[in-house]
């Protein structure tokens, strides 16, 4: 089983499009706080694969809290994992080269090539085993409380403190240094047709050679048995092909076995290296919020359709504005859909971005810059921004491009998703655009899809069913937004 | 031999290989099956085989036959290995396996009781000599197995000098690593070694290492070197025929039956299918009725292109050949006379012989017609000449067939033959549905015009299409 600090097990994910991350300007915010492009890329990738249950998010939150509490653990573990990553690279390189090396070896050096192959593979496994031991020793130093880190410690402990672990390391060491001057001893078993079924390498101490001429006696396992043993037979090896195969096969099989075990251990821990990047960048984000002296909260999650957020700061504004220049938003409503009207520059898009970023980061298991944050887990977060902001350059008109783009995105929008719409369908006659958009928004609500729509299409009010209470219309004068809008102005 | 074998292939009757070529058997069955089908059976043999095929449809019996066949396959493989094996040690092991296979084969065969075909074989192989041999093999096999188990494991030590020694309960590195890995909950795959045949040097060394056991094994080797397994090896070939035909029938779940044996020269079958089309997974395949009687033993088959004339003649030919070998045929119900053979005359590629195409066709027909008790299939015979001459030759053949009461079907485009007094078969066209081909062949007295024009129009080669093409507006 693969160990993970981000996921509890085989949970379901909410797939978020990378475009959504960009629409919410999260890539720009992360670029501001993290200089390493590889780490930025890895972090943003994790933002596109979100847990889809409160328990899964809480699992991540707990690990994140441990790393915030013990920054040394995060940094030492990252170093260790980087070295572990090299084990993986070494194995990949070994696997790439081994067949070529064996293929290229002439018959004279074929056995030697097989011996080298086994020794390399033994060394790789030993390095990997020693890493597990080091991981356990590191985790033992910190009193972590998260399930993720505790389980990892238990797993590493279970492996590295077992007698079998020591035995395996000792066998790796024995065969890692299996020198070319050592005798090769093989136990041969014939199958039901008298063919050599198994040829296995055995330790030399199992061999009792009784020279028929009684001239020389080799090592004896039990001397008292010597007289009972049948005399050994001297082999005049003539067919080198058969014997080269006979000798190299067990060495090659041992190499395979070492490699297989190496792979299994690597598989168990391999994802941790990448996952730690998520927590590293997450810690940078946390430090950034602390430097900005904004409130930081780990969101809580409601089972029902509910948003209760107060004092929420827009992350992107924080990257280039002083904290005191930014007015935080507060929003509380239970309805599924929300249209946001407002004059140009009134902060509609900032509002939409703040809500979207908050939802995405909260669901990724990270804290958000707010006083209070209660929300619902979404199956997906989809952004639909006006075509003018896209890079469509085919012959179709802008409205057609929007419609086509919309239709492509529609397959991502599942029930229980959150859809953020920004000034779409405004590239046609407003009445027609509004009618079409209203139909789509109505369908969303009927399909349990939550939505926030920033628009200039006032006609939406005529087409969205006013009589139904699960729709609300927010504009500059809506009571729940009035304060924020006025303050932003 | 007859009583000892699953198939009676000793009779004089034969179906020429050219018939199988004409009917495209190679695309339906393997060469081995075709080889068996080329030996048509008499009524008694047909019945015995039909009984066996019927029993194969019973899952329990089929499994027993399959088990028997598996044992025979192994015996065959061992026989090949025995011929190839160069060293002493391997020969002992192979012999032990042969003895085991011999006992297994007897046991598996005894489970097939209850069918005339198998009962006769079991009876023939149950004489006292056989029974004594079985008892002796059973007793010796256990001792051989014990002896071989003591020479199965040994160690090789390669250093300055190479040695062969007995193994002293060694534990391999592989086993130790696997044991540790298992304790740690790590999964390991079983050791996958390729089998390596021991060379003569190793074989001699093993012989020298275990002299007492090898001497004892030599005794058994001398005793059973000529184990009588020829019958079983023959059974394998013959059972293959039954199993392949059975599997084919099962795979294509269309109606099949075991025809009754008609006392008079006739073929009567309802809803018969073209097995060739079935094997090509054509869907749907339209079944047709076949009625060839003593009163009307010969038919001309005339009619529309692509209407199913060749399919019909193939339907008759393949099902008849299957019947003559005791196989199930693809029809709802049938009663067929066990003709001595089936002969066919299909168009051949022109080849450079010293006679012309027409002469070659004529000579072949003459040769065929000398055969008594055959069923004849003519397809577009004499198409290598003009209408008038071709029609006359076709009618000459028909006259001879009628005179000598020979049975057959003659597919032709010579509409002149319609005027003579011979029964005519014709593809049925649905006039009410735009002259759609139904692929049904019916007996008719009047023949309609050819529908070649439809086909030409379809490919824009009719006159109007060609005129349009000339004006550059063809599509």
Does the CB of A169 have a partner CB in chain B at under 8 Å?
no
Please give the pLDDT value at position B189.
Answer: 84
Alpha-carbon distances, residue B346 vs B294, B361, B410, B412, B425 (angstroms): 24, 9, 10, 11, 18
Of A237, A268, A291, the last residue of a domain is: A291
Please give the pLDDT value at position B356.
Answer: 66
**Which chain B residues are Cβ-neighbours of A209 within 8 angstroms?**
157, 163, 165
pLDDT over 70 at A221, yes or no: no
- Among the ranges given (A83-97, A189-203, A433-447, B105-119), the one the predictor scored with the smallest mean pLDDT: A433-447
pLDDT tens per residue, range A142-199: 999 999 999 999 999 999 999 999 999 999 999 999 888 888 999 999 988 888 888 8
- Angle between the B230-251 and B88-110 helix axes, to the nearest 10 degrees? 60
CA dihedral A169, A174, A179, A182 (to 10 degrees): -160
Asked if residue A36 belongs to a domain, the reply is: no
Alpha-carbon distances, residue A428 vs A231, A386, B58 (angstroms): 100, 12, 73
Cα A27 to Cα A21: distance, rounded to the nearest angstrom: 7
Same domain, A287 and A310: no
Select, from the ranges A106-120, A147-161, B286-300, the one with the highest average predicted confidence (pLDDT): A147-161
Cβ separation B153–A203 shorter than 8 A: no
Does the CB of B179 have a partner CB in chain A at under 8 Å?
yes
Cα B416 to Cα A323: distance, rounded to the nearest angstrom: 106
Does the CB of A190 have a partner CB in chain B at under 8 Å?
yes
Nearest residue in chain B measured CA to CA from A268: B186
In chain A, % helix, strand, coil (3-state, to 5) comes to: 55, 15, 30
Same domain, A277 and A369: no
Nearest residue in chain B measured CA to CA from A234: B163
Give me the mean pLDDT over the B319-331 stretch.
96
Cis before A272? omega within 30 = no
Please give the pLDDT value at position A148.
Answer: 94
Please give the pLDDT value at position B401.
Answer: 92
- Among the ranges given (A173-187, A333-347, B457-471), the one the predictor scored with the smallest mean pLDDT: B457-471
Decide if B10 contacts B130 (C-beta within 8 A).
no
**Which chain A residues are Cβ-neighbours of B172 within 8 angstroms?**
187, 200-202, 250
* Residue B199 Cα, gap to closest chain A Cα (Å): 7
Same domain, A164 and A104: yes
pLDDT over 50 at B473, yes or no: no
Does the CB of B83 have a partner CB in chain A at under 8 Å?
no
Cβ separation B90–A195 shorter than 8 A: yes
Work out the pLDDT band at A489, boundaries 50, 70, 90: very low
pLDDT over 80 at B302, yes or no: yes
Backbone angles phi, psi at A199, to 5 degrees: -120, 115
Please give the pLDDT value at position B466.
Answer: 38
> Could you say which of A191, A237, A265 has the minimum Cβ distance to residue B162?
A237
* Dihedral angle sign, alpha carbons of residues B158, B164, B168, B171: positive
Decide if A421 contacts A382 (C-beta within 8 A).
no
| A31 phi-psi bin (left φ>0, alpha ψ -120 to 50, beta other) | alpha
Cα A353 to Cα A25: distance, rounded to the nearest angstrom: 8
Please give the pLDDT value at position A466.
Answer: 65
Of A291, A313, A345, the last residue of a domain is: A291
Please give the pLDDT value at position A389.
Answer: 42
Tell which of B141, B161, B189, B217 to mutate to test the A interface (max A CBs under 10 Å): B161
CA Rg value for chain B: 32
pLDDT tens per residue, range B92-125: 999 999 999 999 999 999 999 888 888 888 888 8
> Could you say which of A185, A197, A242 has the minimum Cβ distance to residue B155?
A185
Please give the pLDDT value at position A105.
Answer: 67
Cβ separation B209–A232 shorter than 8 A: yes
pLDDT over 70 at A485, yes or no: no
pLDDT tens per residue, range A192-219: 888 888 889 999 989 888 877 764 444 4
Does the CB of A197 have a partner CB in chain B at under 8 Å?
yes
CATH code for the domain defined by B252-444: 3.40.50.300
Average pLDDT, chain B: 85
Work out the pLDDT band at A220, boundaries 50, 70, 90: very low
Same domain, A192 and A309: no
pLDDT over 70 at B459, yes or no: no
Of A240, A275, A291, the last residue of a domain is: A291
> Could you say which of A158, A164, A189 has the minimum Cβ distance to residue B153?
A189
- Among the ranges given (A55-69, A358-372, B200-214, B382-396), the one the predictor scored with the smallest mean pLDDT: B382-396
Same domain, A207 and A325: no
Same domain, A278 and A193: yes
Cα A474 to Cα A466: distance, rounded to the nearest angstrom: 13
- Angle between the A26-33 and A37-47 helix axes, to the nearest 10 degrees? 140
Same domain, A265 and A156: yes
Q: Which residues of B298-332 are buried (b: 16+ CB within 10 A; e: fewer)?
A: bbbbbbbeebbbbbbbbbbbbbbbbbbbbbbbbbe
Same domain, A187 and A328: no
Does the CB of A254 have a partner CB in chain B at under 8 Å?
yes
Q: Which residues pair with A139 in a beta bridge?
A: none
Please give the pLDDT value at position B1.
Answer: 40
Concatenated DSSP letters for B405-448?
Answer: T-EEEEE---GGGGGSSS-EEEEEEEGGGTSEEEEEEEEESS--
Query: CA angle at residue A39 from A36 to A43, to 5 degrees?
Result: 135
pLDDT over 90 at B426, yes or no: no
Alpha-helix runs per DSSP H in B2-58:
17-22, 31-37, 43-56
Please give the pLDDT value at position A309.
Answer: 92
User: Which two three-digit tokens encode residue A209?
Assistant: 């050679």
Cα A3 to Cα A9: distance, rounded to the nearest angstrom: 8
Does the CB of B90 have a partner CB in chain A at under 8 Å?
yes
Asked if residue A439 belongs to a domain, the reply is: yes
| A448 phi-psi bin (left φ>0, alpha ψ -120 to 50, beta other) | left
pLDDT over 50 at B222, yes or no: yes
Same domain, A346 and A236: no
Please tell me the total count of domains within chain A.
Answer: 2
Please give the pLDDT value at position A214.
Answer: 60
Which residues contact residue A488 at a Cβ distance below 8 angstroms, ignoring those fewer than 6 apart? Answer: A327, A346, A347, A350
Q: Is A400 exposed, middle or buried (0-12, 13-18, 19+ CB in 10 A)?
A: middle
Nearest to A22 by CA among A306, A389, A283: A389
Same domain, A235 and A311: no
Asked if residue A186 belongs to a domain, the reply is: yes
Give me the mean pLDDT over the B30-46 stretch.
94
Nearest residue in chain B measured CA to CA from A161: B184
* Residue A13 Cα, gap to closest chain B Cα (Å): 28
Q: Beta strand pairing status for B374-379 and B424-430? A: unpaired
Cβ separation A167–B153 shorter than 8 A: no
Concatenated DSSP letters for A24-79?
Answer: TTHHHHHHHH---HHHHHHHHHHHTEEE-SHHHHHHHHHHHHHHHH-HHHHHHHHH
pLDDT over 80 at A417, yes or no: yes
DSSP state of A377: -
pLDDT tens per residue, range B386-400: 778 888 999 999 999
Please give the pLDDT value at position A34.
Answer: 94
Percent of chain A with pLDDT over 90: 46
Nearest to B276 by CA among B26, B16, B17: B26
Decide if B406 contacts B341 (C-beta within 8 A).
no
pLDDT tens per residue, range A253-305: 999 999 999 999 998 888 898 899 999 999 999 999 999 999 999 999 988 77
- Among the ranges given (A72-81, A433-442, A454-463, B435-444), the one the predictor scored with the smallest mean pLDDT: B435-444
Question: Comparing A248 with A169, which gets the higher pLDDT?
Answer: A169
Cβ separation A159–B158 shorter than 8 A: no
Cα A6 to Cα A58: distance, rounded to the nearest angstrom: 10
**Which chain A residues are Cβ-neighbours of B163 within 8 angstroms?**
207, 209, 232-235
Please give the pLDDT value at position A427.
Answer: 64
Tell which of A194, A220, A239, A262 to mutate to test the B interface (max B CBs under 10 Å): A194
Please give the pLDDT value at position A480.
Answer: 47
CATH of the domain at A458: 3.40.50.300
Which residues contact residue A307 at a Cβ distance below 8 angstroms, ignoring those fewer than 6 apart? Answer: A331, A332, A333, A334, A355, A374, A375, A376
Cβ separation B168–A221 shorter than 8 A: yes
CB contacts < 8 Å between A and B, how many? 195
* Residue A222 Cα, gap to closest chain B Cα (Å): 10
Give me the mean pLDDT over the A426-448 stretch.
76
User: Which two three-digit tokens encode residue B298?
Assistant: 């010969």
* Dihedral angle sign, alpha carbons of residues A239, A242, A248, A254: negative
* Residue B435 Cα, gap to closest chain A Cα (Å): 47
Average pLDDT, chain A: 83
**Which chain A residues are Cβ-neighbours of B158 within 8 angstroms?**
183-186, 243, 247
Cα A158 to Cα A268: distance, rounded to the nearest angstrom: 13
Query: CA angle at residue A338 from A335 to A344, to 5 degrees?
Result: 155
- Among the ranges given (A198-207, A234-243, B304-313), the one the predictor scored with the smallest mean pLDDT: A234-243
Decide if B159 contacts A185 (C-beta within 8 A).
no
Cβ separation B157–A185 shorter than 8 A: yes
* Dihedral angle sign, alpha carbons of residues A473, A474, A479, A480: positive
Which residues contact residue B88 at a Cβ distance below 8 angstroms, ignoring those fewer than 6 apart? Answer: B203, B204, B207, B214
Question: Comparing A61 with A338, which gets the higher pLDDT?
Answer: A61
Please give the pLDDT value at position B248.
Answer: 93
pLDDT over 70 at B344, yes or no: yes
Asked if residue A64 belongs to a domain, the reply is: yes
DSSP state of B28: T
Tell which of B77, B181, B194, B210 to mutate to test the A interface (max A CBs under 10 Å): B181
Same domain, A146 and A247: yes
Tell which of B82, B153, B196 to mutate to test the A interface (max A CBs under 10 Å): B196
Nearest residue in chain A measured CA to CA from B79: A193
Backbone angles phi, psi at A457, to 5 degrees: -80, 85
Asked if residue A362 belongs to a domain, the reply is: yes
Residue with tokens 């066709």: B361
Does the CB of A253 have a partner CB in chain B at under 8 Å?
yes
Give me the mean pLDDT over the A79-88 stretch.
89
**What domain range is A415 assigned to?**
297-488
Which residues contact residue B247 at a Cβ distance below 8 angstroms, ignoring those fewer than 6 apart? Answer: none
pLDDT over 60 at B350, yes or no: no
Decide if B299 contacts B423 (C-beta within 8 A).
yes
Cβ separation B92–A194 shorter than 8 A: yes
Asked if residue A31 belongs to a domain, the reply is: no
Does the CB of B178 have a partner CB in chain A at under 8 Å?
yes
Backbone angles phi, psi at B83, to 5 degrees: -65, -30
**Which chain A residues are Cβ-neighbours of B180 within 8 angstroms?**
164-165, 167-168, 171
DSSP state of A298: -
Does the CB of A414 have a partner CB in chain B at under 8 Å?
no
Cβ separation A200–B166 shorter than 8 A: no
Does the CB of B346 have a partner CB in chain A at under 8 Å?
no
* Residue B205 Cα, gap to closest chain A Cα (Å): 6
Please give the pLDDT value at position A8.
Answer: 85
pLDDT tens per residue, range B190-202: 877 778 888 888 8
User: Which two three-digit tokens encode residue A377?
Assistant: 């887990």
Does the CB of B149 have a partner CB in chain A at under 8 Å?
no
Select, from the ranges A199-208, A238-247, B334-343, the one with the highest average predicted confidence (pLDDT): B334-343
Percent of chain B with pLDDT over 90: 52
* Residue B183 Cα, gap to closest chain A Cα (Å): 6
Does the CB of B86 have a partner CB in chain A at under 8 Å?
no
Q: Which residues pair with A276 in a beta bridge?
A: none
Cα B81 to Cα B75: distance, rounded to the nearest angstrom: 10
Nearest residue in chain B measured CA to CA from A222: B168
Question: Comparing B124 with B242, which gets the higher pLDDT?
Answer: B242
Cβ separation A235–B167 shorter than 8 A: no
Cα B255 to Cα B274: distance, rounded to the nearest angstrom: 12
> Could you say which of B174, B180, B194 has the minimum Cβ distance to residue A164?
B180
* Residue A429 Cα, gap to closest chain B Cα (Å): 43
Query: CA angle at residue A435 from A433 to A436, to 5 degrees?
Result: 65
Does the CB of A400 have a partner CB in chain B at under 8 Å?
no
pLDDT over 50 at B284, yes or no: yes
Backbone angles phi, psi at B277, to 5 degrees: -65, -35
Asked if residue A336 belongs to a domain, the reply is: yes
Select, from the ranges A201-205, A358-362, A445-449, B469-473, the one with the highest average predicted confidence (pLDDT): A358-362
**Which chain A residues are Cβ-neighbours of B184 within 8 angstroms?**
159, 162, 164-165, 168
Please give the pLDDT value at position B449.
Answer: 40
pLDDT over 60 at A26, yes or no: yes
Give me the mean pLDDT over the A10-36 stretch.
90
Same domain, A370 and A418: yes
Question: Comparing A462 with B350, which gets the higher pLDDT?
Answer: A462
* Residue A376 Cα, gap to closest chain B Cα (Å): 39
Interface confidence, given as ipTM, is: 0.77
Decide if A51 contacts A14 (C-beta within 8 A).
yes
Please give the pLDDT value at position B452.
Answer: 39
Cα A164 to Cα A169: distance, rounded to the nearest angstrom: 9
Please give the pLDDT value at position A477.
Answer: 42
Cα B155 to Cα B164: distance, rounded to the nearest angstrom: 6
Nearest residue in chain B measured CA to CA from A200: B172
pLDDT over 60 at A478, yes or no: no
Domain ranges of chain B: 2-151+226-242, 252-444
């Amino acid at each position: 089983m693969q160990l993970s600090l981000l996921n509890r097990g085989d949970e379901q994910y909410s797939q978020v499009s990378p475009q959504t991350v960009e629409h919410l300007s999260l890539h720009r915010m992360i670029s501001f706080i993290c200089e390493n492009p590889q780490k930025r890329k890895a972090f943003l990738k994790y933002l596109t694969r979100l847990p889809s249950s409160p328990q899964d998010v809480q699992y991540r939150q707990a690990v994140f809290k441990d790393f915030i509490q013990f920054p040394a653990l995060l940094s030492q573990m990252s170093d260790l994992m980087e070295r572990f990553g090299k084990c993986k690279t070494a194995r990949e390189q070994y696997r790439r080269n081994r067949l070529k090396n064996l293929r290229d070896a002439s018959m004279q050096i074929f056995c030697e090539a097989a011996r080298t192959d086994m020794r390399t593979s033994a060394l790789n496994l030993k390095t990997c085993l020693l890493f597990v031991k080091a991981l356990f020793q590191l985790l033992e130093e910190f009193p972590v409380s998260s399930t993720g880190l505790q389980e990892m410690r238990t797993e590493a402990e279970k492996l590295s403190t077992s007698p079998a672990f020591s035995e395996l390391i000792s066998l790796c060491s024995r065969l890692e240094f299996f020198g070319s001057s050592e005798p090769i001893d093989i136990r041969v078993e014939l199958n039901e047709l008298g063919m050599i079924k198994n040829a296995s390498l055995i330790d030399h101490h199992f061999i009792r050679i009784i020279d028929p001429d009684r001239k020389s006696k080799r090592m004896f396992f039990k001397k008292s048995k010597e007289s009972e043993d049948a005399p050994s037979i001297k082999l005049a090896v003539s067919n080198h092909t058969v014997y080269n195969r006979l000798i190299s096969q067990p060495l090659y099989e041992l190499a395979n076995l070492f490699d297989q075990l190496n792979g299994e251990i690597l598989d168990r821990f391999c994802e941790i290296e990448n996952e730690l990047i998520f927590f590293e960048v997450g810690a940078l984000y946390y430090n950034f919020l602390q430097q900005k002296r904004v409130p930081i909260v780990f969101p809580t999650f409601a089972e029902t359709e509910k948003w209760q957020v107060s004092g929420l700061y827009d992350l992107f504004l924080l990257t280039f504005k002083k904290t005191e220049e930014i007015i935080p938003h507060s929003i509380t409503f239970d309805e599924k859909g929300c249209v946001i009207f407002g004059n140009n520059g009134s902060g509609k898009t900032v509002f939409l971005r703040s809500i979207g970023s908050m939802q995405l980061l909260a669901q990724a298991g990270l804290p958000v810059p707010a006083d209070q944050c209660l929300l619902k887990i979404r199956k997906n977060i989809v952004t639909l921004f006006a075509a003018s902001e896209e890079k469509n350059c085919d012959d179709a008109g802008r409205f057609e491009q929007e419609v086509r783009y919309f239709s492509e995105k529609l397959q991502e929008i599942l029930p229980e998703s959150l859809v953020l719409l920004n000034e779409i369908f405004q590239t046609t006659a407003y009445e027609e655009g509004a009618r079409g958009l209203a139909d789509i928004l109505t369908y969303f609500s009927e399909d349990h899809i939550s939505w926030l729509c920033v628009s200039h299409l006032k006609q939406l009010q005529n087409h969205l069913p006013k009589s139904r209470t699960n729709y609300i219309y927010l504009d500059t004068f809506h009571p729940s937004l009035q304060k924020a809008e006025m303050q932003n102005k | 031999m007859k009583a000892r074998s699953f198939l009676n292939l000793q009779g004089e009757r034969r179906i020429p290989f050219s018939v199988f070529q004409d009917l495209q058997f190679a695309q339906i069955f393997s060469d081995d099956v075709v080889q068996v089908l080329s030996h048509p059976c008499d009524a008694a043999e047909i019945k015995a085989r039909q009984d066996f095929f019927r029993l194969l449809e019973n899952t329990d019996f089929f499994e027993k036959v399959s088990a028997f066949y598996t044992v025979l396959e192994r015996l065959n493989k061992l026989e090949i290995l025995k011929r190839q094996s160069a060293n002493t040690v391997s020969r002992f092991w192979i012999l032990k396996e042969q003895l085991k296979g011999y006992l297994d084969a007897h046991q598996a065969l005894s489970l097939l009781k209850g069918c005339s075909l198998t009962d006769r074989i079991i009876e023939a192989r149950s004489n006292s000599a056989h029974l004594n041999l079985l008892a002796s093999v059973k007793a010796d096999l256990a001792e051989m197995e014990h002896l071989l188990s003591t020479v199965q494991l040994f160690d090789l030590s390669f250093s300055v000098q190479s040695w062969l020694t007995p193994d002293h309960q060694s534990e391999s590195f592989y086993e130790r690593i696997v044991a540790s890995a298992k304790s740690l909950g790590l999964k390991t795959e079983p050791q996958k070694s390729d089998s390596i045949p021991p060379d003569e040097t190793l074989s001699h060394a093993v012989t020298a290492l275990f002299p007492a056991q090898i001497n004892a094994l030599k005794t058994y080797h001398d005793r059973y070197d000529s184990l009588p397994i020829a019958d079983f090896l023959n059974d394998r070939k013959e059972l293959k025929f039954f199993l392949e035909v059975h599997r084919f029938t099962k795979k294509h779940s269309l109606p099949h039956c075991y025809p009754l044996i008609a006392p008079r020269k006739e073929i009567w079958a309802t809803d018969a299918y073209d097995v060739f089309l079935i094997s090509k997974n054509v869907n749907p395949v339209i079944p047709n009725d076949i009625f060839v009687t003593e009163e009307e033993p010969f038919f001309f088959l005339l009619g529309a292109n692509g209407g199913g004339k060749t399919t019909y003649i193939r339907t008759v030919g393949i099902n008849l050949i299957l019947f003559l070998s005791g196989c199930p045929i693809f029809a709802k119900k049938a009663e067929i006379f066990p003709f001595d053979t089936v002969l066919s005359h299909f168009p051949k590629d022109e080849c450079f012989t010293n006679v012309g195409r027409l002469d070659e066709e004529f000579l072949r027909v003459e040769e065929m017609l000398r055969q008594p008790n055959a069923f004849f299939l003519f397809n577009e015979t004499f198409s290598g000449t003009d209408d008038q001459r071709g029609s006359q030759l076709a009618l000459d053949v028909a006259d001879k067939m009628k005179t000598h009461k020979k049975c057959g079907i003659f597919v032709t485009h010579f509409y002149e033959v319609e005027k003579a007094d011979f029964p005519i078969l014709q593809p049925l066209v649905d006039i009410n549905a735009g002259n759609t081909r139904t692929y049904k062949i019916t007996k008719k007295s009047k023949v309609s015009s050819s529908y070649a024009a439809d086909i030409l129009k379809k490919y824009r080669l009719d006159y109007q299409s060609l005129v349009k093409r000339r004006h550059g507006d063809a599509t």
